[in-house]
Amino acid sequence: GAPLLLNCGRRPPTADSATAADKTNPRGKHCLWLCFRVLSSCLEIFVLCPPLTSDSISTVLAAATITMTLTSTVCFPRQEIMKWNGWGYSDSKFLFNKKGQAEFTGKRYRLSGMVLPSLQDWFENTFGASVNHKSPPALNASAVPPASLNEAFVEDLKATGIPFSHEAEDRVFRAHGHCLHEIFALREGKKFERVPDMVVWPNCHNDVVKIVELACKHNVCLIPYGGGTSVTSALECPPEETRCIVSLDTSQMNRILWIDEKNLVAHVEAGIIGQDLERLLNESGYCTGHEPDSMEFSSLGGWVATRASGMKKNVYGNIEDLVIHIKVVTPRGVIEKSCQGPRMSTGPDIHHFILGSEGTLGVVTEVTMKIRPIPEYQKYGSVVFPNFEAGVACLREVAKQRCAPASIRLMDNEQFQFGHALKPQVSSIFTNFVEGLKKFYITKFKGFDPHQLVVATLLFEGDRERVLQHEKQVYDIAATFGGLAAGEDNGQRGYILTFVIAYLRDLGMDYYVVAESFETSVPWDRVLDLCRNVKERINRECKERGVQFQPLTSCRVTQTYDAGACVYFYFAFNYRGLADPVHTYERVEHAAREEILANGGSLSHHHGVGKLRKEWMKESISSLGVGMLQSVKDYVDPDNIFGNRNLL
C-alpha cells in the first residue's frame, strides 16, 4: 500500500536539460524529439507483442491501448498524431473507398480497417447527400494573426525554464475546441479572429504557480488548455482581448503522484488524459470508472472544470462524486482543503466553486480522486423496445428501483438505424443467416415496426454472479415494458458508436453534411415531451431557414437519475444550397436550446456553458446566482487574468 510514483511515459526534454540554442528555438527540439518518438512507436508496434489488456478496460479502446502501453497519449506537438482540423487521431478516419464503400482507417479501434457496407446507403438516404458530391478540399490555415508577445513576461518566463512556443501551428491548435463552427472554420481555412499568442507547458504544480505569478505581474491573459475537447466555445480566445494571451497546456502534468490503497484514492496531476489515467491505474489493479465519451482525449483538469459525467456514473459517480481533494492555482494563490475527509460540513463546499468554473478562476493542478479495484466481470447487453415511449418507461422504472447497470442508454429509432449502418461486413454466411432470423423474429413475429423500434444498450460490471443476477433483474423489468433482449453484440456496437461518431462528423463534412450534438438533463415526466418537441423544433427551424433536405434529428437517453435523465441529441443536415451553413446551424441549435429550456430541460448536463450558452445563464440560475459567481470571480481573479470569459 505504499504510495507509488508513476510516470506515464516518455516525456519531452525539459528546458533545463536543453541546450541554450534549443531554448530559443523550441521547435527544433520538438522535431528531434518527435523523430525519436515516432521511431520508438514503430518499434513498439512491430517488435513488441501487444500485451493482453485486462477485460476491465473498455474493450472498445483495446486497439488504441496497444500503442499506449509505453507512451503518453498526448505529446508536446499534439498535431503530429492528432488532426489539426478534425476529430481525433490523424490515422483514424472514415472514407468512401474507390468501390464507394465506407471504411474506417487506422488500427486503433474495433472498427478500424473494417469495411462498412451499409453506411453509404444510410448516409445517402438520410441526408440526401451523395458520395459524388464532395465538398471542396480544405485549404490550409495559413493566415494566423501574428503573435503579440508581452516581452517582459517572455523574459521572466525564460528565466523559469518552463518550455513555451509561439509557433503558429501550436497556437492555432489551442485556439479552438470541437464546436462545429470551429472545425468548419479550420477546414475552410478561415482565419481565427484571435488565437493565443503563445503556449506554455508547465511540468508540475509549482510551474503553474510561477506562470500564474508572472501572468499577474505582467498582466497577461491565461487560458488553461487540457484535452481540447470542449464543445462550448470555451477555448475560443475573446476577440476583444488586447493583452497577450497565453495558452497554458497542462498535458505535461500527467503523473499519478501516489495511490493510497487504504483509502482507495489516487493523487493525480490534472493534465493526465482519461485513457492514460485508466491504463496506469489498471496496471496497479485499479480504475476510476470515470469514462466520459471523450476519455481518449479529455483531461482530468478539464473534467473538474466542466463538471464532467462518465458513462458508468451509476456505479462510480460523476466527477463531483469522485473528487476528494482539488488543488487550484489562482491569481490570489492556491486553493485547497486541509484534509481528505470524505464529507464535510464546513460551509458551502469550495470544491463547487471550482467544479464547473471552466477555467475562469485558475488552473486545476492536482486532484485526489476515488479509485476502485478493477471489476471482475463485465458484460454488455441490449434490449429492443417497440417504441421510444416504452423504452423511456422502462428506464424510468429501472431508475425507480435503483437497479441501473453501470451504463444504460436508450437510443431512438434514428440512432438504432444509424448503428445498423455501421455494421461491419460479415464474412460468414451463418452470421448473415442468424441476423436475418433475428430481424424476422423481432419485426414479423413480435410485430415491432422497424421504423419505431428502439434499442437500449447496457453495460454490467461487478463480480460475475452479481452481474448475472443484476442482468436478470433488468431484463425482467424490460420485459414488462415489451422489451426483448437483443444480445451482447448490439449492446457493444452501441458503445462503439460513441467513440467513432465524432470521426463520422468529419466524413459528413467531406460531403456537405454538418453535424453536432448537444445535451440536457430533464425530469422524468418531461423526457418524452422534450425529445419530441426539440426534434420537431429542429425540423421546423431547418425548413424555415432554407435547409433543402430533411435534417437528421436523433436523441438518446444516456443517463438515469432518481429524478430525471440526461438526454443527448444528434443533429445533422445536408447543407448544399446554403450560403452560410454554419450560421444556419448555429441559429437552429440556438432555437433547439430555447426549446429545451422551455420544456424543462437544463442548460447543460455535462458539456458546460462556455461562451456558447452564456446568454442563458441568468435565466438558468437567476441574476442573483450570476452575481454570486461574479463576486467569487472578482475576489479570486480581480484582474481577469483567467480571461477566457466563459460562463459569466
Q: Does 605 bind other proteins (CB under 8 A)?
A: no
Start-to-end CA distance of the chain, whole Å, equals: 44
On whether 309 is known to bind a ligand per the annotation, the reply is yes
Minimal distance, residue 530 CB to other proteins, in Å: 7
C-alpha cell, 113: 480497417
The smaller minimum CB distance to other proteins, of residues 291 and 541, is found at 541
The smaller minimum CB distance to other proteins, of residues 230 and 520, is found at 520
The smaller minimum CB distance to other proteins, of residues 449 and 463, is found at 449
Question: How crowded is the C-beta side of 84, counted as CA atoms within 13 Å?
Answer: 20
The smaller minimum CB distance to other proteins, of residues 183 and 527, is found at 527
Minimal distance, residue 160 CB to other proteins, in Å: 49
Strands 221-225 and 245-249: parallel
Q: Which of 332, 372, 423, 532 binds other proteins (CB under 8 A)?
A: 532
Catalytic residue among 286, 316, 380, 568: 568
- Distances in Å between the Cα of 520 and the Cα atoms of 93, 568, 592, 600, 619 are 28, 7, 11, 10, 15
On whether 648 is known to bind a ligand per the annotation, the reply is no
On whether 100 is known to bind a ligand per the annotation, the reply is no
Using CB under 8 A as the binding criterion, the count of chain residues that bind other proteins stands at 13
On whether 338 is known to bind a ligand per the annotation, the reply is no
On whether 578 is known to bind a ligand per the annotation, the reply is no
On whether 360 is known to bind a ligand per the annotation, the reply is yes
Q: Does 544 bind other proteins (CB under 8 A)?
A: no
C-alpha angle 247/252/255, rounded to 5°?
140
Minimal distance, residue 442 CB to other proteins, in Å: 21
Is 568 a known active-site residue?
yes
In the beta sheet, which residues pair with residue 370?
A: 265
C-alpha cell, 257: 503522484
Q: Which of 489, 600, 614, 626 binds other proteins (CB under 8 A)?
A: 600
Give the per-residue contact string, 569-598, with other proteins (x = CB under 8 A; - = no).
----------------------------xx
Minimal distance, residue 156 CB to other proteins, in Å: 49
Q: Does 533 bind other proteins (CB under 8 A)?
A: yes
Minimal distance, residue 478 CB to other proteins, in Å: 23
Strands 198-200 and 245-249: parallel
Distance CA 36, CA 207 (A): 26
Give the per-residue contact string, 492-531, with other proteins (x = CB under 8 A; - = no).
---------------------------------xx--xx-
Q: Does 537 bind other proteins (CB under 8 A)?
A: yes
The smaller minimum CB distance to other proteins, of residues 196 and 551, is found at 551
Q: Does 599 bind other proteins (CB under 8 A)?
A: yes
Answer for the pair 114, 424: CB distance below 8 angstroms, yes or no. yes
Query: Inter-axis angle of helices 205-218 and 151-160, to 10 degrees?
Result: 160
Q: Does 23 bind other proteins (CB under 8 A)?
A: no
Distance CA 491, CA 455 (A): 9
Q: Report residue 566: phi and psi, to 5°.
A: -100, 130
Distance CA 318, CA 567 (A): 16
Answer for the pair 508, 549: CB distance below 8 angstroms, yes or no. no
- Among residues 190, 47, 287, 114, which one has the least CA distance to residue 583? 190
Minimal distance, residue 523 CB to other proteins, in Å: 8
Radius of gyration of the chain (CA): 24
Minimal distance, residue 564 CB to other proteins, in Å: 12
Cβ within 8 Å of residue 198, ≥6 positions away: 147, 149, 154, 164, 165, 166, 171, 244, 246, 247
Answer for the pair 382, 530: CB distance below 8 angstroms, yes or no. no
On whether 358 is known to bind a ligand per the annotation, the reply is yes
C-alpha cell, 321: 462524486
Q: Which of 155, 193, 321, 619 binds other proteins (CB under 8 A)?
A: 619
Q: Where do contacts with other proteins occur on this chain (CB under 8 A)?
A: 525-526, 529-530, 532-533, 536-537, 597-600, 619
Which positions make up the binding site for FAD?
224-230, 306-309, 358-364
Residues making up the annotated binding site are 224-230, 306-309, 358-364, 505
Q: Which residues are catalytic?
A: 568
